């Protein structure tokens, strides 16, 4: 396989595989694939919305933060309406697994577009590498954070969690886009903090799973 293509789609797939493997009670592989493809599908309505809200503006770079609103909202809707009713979705860790799978399905297709269609100034390989250490970890972290709070809402019940599941990823993504739009590397320290925050959440649920003998928990919502 061409190295550019391997990086472009391989990094998102490797991260999904890592999160799926970290789950003590693995999810159905068929549903994982469908969820990944759901994330891919979301690129199309997101592209239309971003085109209308951002790229149709006179100075689109000033509106790039709005992609955080459109993209994370669509991922949230997929998690709520597609994943929430599934019988296999039966414990908090599952929300992280499906949340990151949706996010990285989205990111994988977006990667293909940026690497092969939208870059004019630098090589495709350079774009793939840059996105592998920036946009892909951002999407993955937002998927984990969204899933963490979504799982708390479904299995713990406090309504504040459902707002956190939506608003926090939107704000994280929007601020990342704002920083990236400044045209320097200032967004990297911010991204490292976001990744650290997301990994702490993932580790917390791994720790909770260690003492569980059975997967299923009662859904409160």
Number of domains in the chain: 1
**Inside any domain, residue 221:** no
**Inside any domain, residue 216:** no
- Looking from the CA of 31 toward its CB, the CA atoms found within 13 Å total 18
Collapse the DSSP code of 121 into the 3-class scheme (helix H, G, I; strand E, B; otherwise coil) and give the result: coil
| Residue 52: pLDDT band with limits 50, 70, 90 | very high
**Inside any domain, residue 90:** yes
Contact indicator for 80, 14 with CB cutoff of 8 Å: no
Contact indicator for 138, 44 with CB cutoff of 8 Å: no
**Inside any domain, residue 219:** no
**Inside any domain, residue 167:** yes
Q: Which domain holds residue 97?
A: 3-20+29-210
pTM: 0.96
Nearest to 179 by CA among 65, 71, 55: 65
Sign of torsion, CA 172 177 180 183?
A: negative
Contact indicator for 160, 178 with CB cutoff of 8 Å: no
The residues, any chain, with a CB within 8 Å of residue 56's CB and separated by 6 or more, are none
| Residue 117: pLDDT band with limits 50, 70, 90 | confident
Per-residue pLDDT tens for 9-26? 999 999 999 999 999 999
**Inside any domain, residue 185:** yes
Per-residue pLDDT tens for 167-211? 999 999 999 999 998 877 888 999 999 999 999 999 999 999 998
**Inside any domain, residue 152:** yes
**Inside any domain, residue 218:** no
Mean pLDDT of 72-97: 98
Contact indicator for 90, 219 with CB cutoff of 8 Å: yes
Mean pLDDT of 152-159: 96
């Amino acid at each position: 396989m061409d190295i550019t293509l391997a990086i472009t789609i391989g990094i998102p797939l490797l991260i999904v595989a890592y999160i799926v493997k970290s789950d003590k009670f693995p999810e159905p592989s068929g549903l994982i694939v469908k969820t990944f493809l759901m994330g891919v599908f979301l690129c199309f309505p997101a592209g239309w919305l971003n085109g209308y809200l951002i790229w149709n503006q006179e100075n689109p770079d000033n509106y790039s933060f709005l992609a955080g609103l459109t993209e994370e909202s669509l991922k949230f809707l997929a998690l709520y309406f597609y994943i929430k009713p599934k019988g296999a979705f039966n414990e908090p860790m599952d929300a992280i697994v499906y949340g990151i799978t949706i996010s990285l399905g989205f990111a994988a297709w977006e990667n293909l577009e940026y690497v092969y269609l939208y870059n004019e100034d630098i090589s495709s390989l350079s774009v793939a590498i840059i996105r592998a250490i920036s946009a892909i970890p951002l999407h993955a972290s937002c998927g984990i954070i969204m899933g963490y709070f979504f799982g708390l809402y479904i299995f713990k019940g406090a309504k504040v969690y459902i707002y956190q599941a939506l608003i926090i990823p939107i704000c994280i993504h929007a601020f990342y886009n704002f920083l990236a739009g400044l045209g320097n590397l200032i967004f990297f320290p911010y991204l490292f903090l976001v990744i650290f925050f997301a990994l702490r959440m993932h580790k917390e649920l791994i720790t909770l799973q260690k003492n569980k003998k059975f997967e299923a928990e009662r859904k409160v919502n």
